[in-house]
């Protein structure tokens, strides 16, 4: 510790030899610093605060039916756009900052200076919203610094107007752009949907017989047709079995006649006689064109025709007498007729189903391909139709959203209009003058130390011995005469006076800046 202190003392003693150089440098640097501080131009700060409220009662009521615009993002976008070159050039020209500026490089320098001096601060930047809570209001502060107070206020005023106009205009432009985009997409999807419908219709016309029906796909229809064919054949076999049973019963039944030679009242002959008697009675009372006469005559004709058919069938099968009036035989004949009609119907149905099965089997290789192609066409059509409907819904929401935006605007309230303080906000000359004082003293001390290093001396025998690594045999002390001592004292007094003068000069300059008109008034 003692060694370090001794080295420090030696360094100070070595630099003390160049104290007048240090003082001169301190004076010169102070004077230069005063001039530099005095020539600094005043900088005025113009500010404006605007309150933005994006809450809307109508939008809250139509929350699910409209697209809620993100006005906060729009405001941030406008804030960033204000600091872009096009907007800054526009503001510079409209406020007069660009007067006398010629060339792209000069304009770029002006725009860079303008961007460096403009600040747009949002309240949400200082206090971010809580998680899950959407802000519906915010406060924006616009600041600008310039050497002229009126120009600073003019620039802030222009920035505020552009901020409000571009936010509202950007909101409408964004909504209009979204509507135009949706219209273009809808027209495109309309054309694609029309092409898909035409392709599906043409495919259905080409493959009408191969298309799936309500019964399902190709293999399901084939399986169903085969099962229905087997059921129809089973029904036909059952009907033929019933017919064979009835014919056997008819062959074993003997026709009989009534004992009195009269017809059985239940037979067809008895019914014919009864209706002929009724017809004769009606002819006695009415003409041949009377409705009752015509009806009775038609009944008789039908009964005679039926009797003739049954007698012919009996003769063909059993050779029985045509005058048979056996009721059991007549019932069997009626049942046989009904079964024969059923068999004929079933045979036609079986033939039809066999043809259908054969047609389906002939399409064994084409059917699945047709179904796959149809499924693909339907899938493409459904996808395009779903997108088309979604675009239509989006367009309706966009129209409603646009109407809401046009009916309700963002609430801009100017809290503080563009103003600037009477005094400049920069530079802080008092602080700069203090820095000049400290810097000049430090610079002088640094010069003295540098000279002491260039023109170094040994202050005592110990430092000489350490430097040369040789023993010092002795030292001679210098004694000053009275005149020499008086010269040294005067020199110290002069140095102290010059130093005190430097301090007083700096204090006076700082005092003029603090309580007086300012150092700039002295220039």
CA angle 438/439/443 to nearest 5° reads: 120
| Spatial distance between the Cα atoms of 408 and 102, rounded to a whole number of angstroms | 44
Q: What is the largest CA-CA distance in the chain?
A: 200
DSSP-derived secondary structure letter, 261: S
d(CA 510, CA 493): 25
pLDDT of residue 184: 83
Instruction: Give the pLDDT score at 131.
Output: 43
Contacts of 162-166 with CB under 8 Å at 24 or more apart are 162/82, 162/87, 162/90, 162/91, 163/50, 163/78, 163/79, 163/82, 163/120, 164/50, 164/412, 166/78, 166/81, 166/82
* pLDDT of the chain, 523 residues: tens digit per residue: 676 777 777 778 778 888 899 999 999 999 999 889 888 888 888 998 888 766 554 444 444 544 455 555 555 665 666 677 778 888 888 888 888 778 888 888 888 888 888 888 876 655 454 444 444 446 888 888 888 888 888 888 888 887 777 666 555 555 566 667 778 888 888 888 888 888 878 877 776 555 555 445 556 767 787 888 888 888 888 888 888 888 777 766 544 444 334 444 445 777 778 878 888 888 877 778 777 778 778 888 888 888 777 777 666 655 444 445 567 777 777 877 888 888 888 888 888 888 878 876 766 556 566 667 777 888 888 888 888 888 887 777 767 666 655 555 556 678 888 888 877 887 888 899 999 999 999 999 999 888 888 886 766 677 767 767 778 777 777 777 888 788 888 888 998 999 999 999 999 988 888 887 777 766 6
CATH 3.30.1890 domain span(s) along the chain: 44-187+408-420
| pLDDT of the residue at 167 | 64
Would you give the end-to-end CA distance of the chain in angstroms?
Answer: 51
pLDDT value for 400 = 65
Closest CA to 26 of 496, 363, 305, 436: 436
What fold characterizes domain 44-187+408-420?
Bacterial polysaccharide co-polymerase-like (3.30.1890)
161 beta partners: none
Distance CA 11, CA 491 (A): 21
Q: Could you write out the DSSP letters of every residue in 107-160?
A: HHHHHHHHHHHEEEEEHHHHSPPPTT----EEEEEEEEEESSHHHHHHHHHHHH
Peptide bond into 369 cis (omega under 30): no
Q: Is 18 helix (H, G, I), strand (E, B) or coil?
A: coil
């Amino acid at each position: 510790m003692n060694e370090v202190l001794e080295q420090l003392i030696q360094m100070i003693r070595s630099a003390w030899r160049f104290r007048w150089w240090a003082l001169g440098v301190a004076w010169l640097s102070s004077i230069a610093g005063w001039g530099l501080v005095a020539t600094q131009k005043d900088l005025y700060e113009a500010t404006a605060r605007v309150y933005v409220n994006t809450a809307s009662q109508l939008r809250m009521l139509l929350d699910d039916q409209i697209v809620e615009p993100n006005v906060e993002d729009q405001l941030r976008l406008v804030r960033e756009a204000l600091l872009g070159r096009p907007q800054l050039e526009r503001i510079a020209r409209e406020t007069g900052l660009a007067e006398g500026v010629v060339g792209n490089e000069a304009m770029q320098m002006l725009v860079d200076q303008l961007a460096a001096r403009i600040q747009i601060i949002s309240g949400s930047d200082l206090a971010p919203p809580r998680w899950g809570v959407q802000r519906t209001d915010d406060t924006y502060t616009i600041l600008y610094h310039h050497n002229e107070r009126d120009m600073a206020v003019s620039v802030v005023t222009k920035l505020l107007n552009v901020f409000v106009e571009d936010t509202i205009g950007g909101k409408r432009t964004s909504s209009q752009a979204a509507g135009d985009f949706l219209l273009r997409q809808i027209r495109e999807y309309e054309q694609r949907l029309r092409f898909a419908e035409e392709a599906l219709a043409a495919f259905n016309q080409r493959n009408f017989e191969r298309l799936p029906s309500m019964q399902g796909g190709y293999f399901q229809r084939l399986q169903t047709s085969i099962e229905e064919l087997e059921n129809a054949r089973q029904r036909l076999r059952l009907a033929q079995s019933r017919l064979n049973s009835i014919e056997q019963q008819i062959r074993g039944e003997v026709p009989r006649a009534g004992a009195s030679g009269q017809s059985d009242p239940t037979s067809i002959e008895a019914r014919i006689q009864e209706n002929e008697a009724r017809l004769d009675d009606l002819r006695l009372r009415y003409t041949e064109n009377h409705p009752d006469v015509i009806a009775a005559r038609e009944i008789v004709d039908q009964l005679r025709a039926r009797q003739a058919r049954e007698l012919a069938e009996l003769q063909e099968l059993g050779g029985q007498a045509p005058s048979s009036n056996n009721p059991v035989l007549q019932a069997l004949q009626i049942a046989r007729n009904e079964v024969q009609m059923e068999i004929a119907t079933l045979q036609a149905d079986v033939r039809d189903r066999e043809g259908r099965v054969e047609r389906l089997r002939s399409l064994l290789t084409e059917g699945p391909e047709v179904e796959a192609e149809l499924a693909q066409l339907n899938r493409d059509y459904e996808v395009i139709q779903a997108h088309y409907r979604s675009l239509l819904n989006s367009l309706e929401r966009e129209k409603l959203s646009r109407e809401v935006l046009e009916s309700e605007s963002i609430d801009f309230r100017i809290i503080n209009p563009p103003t600037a303080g009477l005094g400049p906000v920069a530079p802080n000359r008092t602080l700069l003058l203090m820095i000049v004082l400290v810097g000049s003293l430090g610079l002088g001390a640094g010069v003295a130390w540098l000279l002491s290093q260039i023109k170094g001396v040994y202050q005592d025998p110990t430092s000489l011995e350490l430097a040369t690594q040789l023993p010092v045999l002795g030292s001679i002390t210098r004694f000053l005469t009275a005149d020499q001592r008086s010269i040294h004292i005067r020199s110290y007094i002069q140095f102290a006076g010059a130093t005190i003068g430097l301090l007083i000069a700096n204090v006076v300059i700082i005092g003029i800046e603090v309580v007086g008109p300012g150092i700039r008034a002295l220039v």
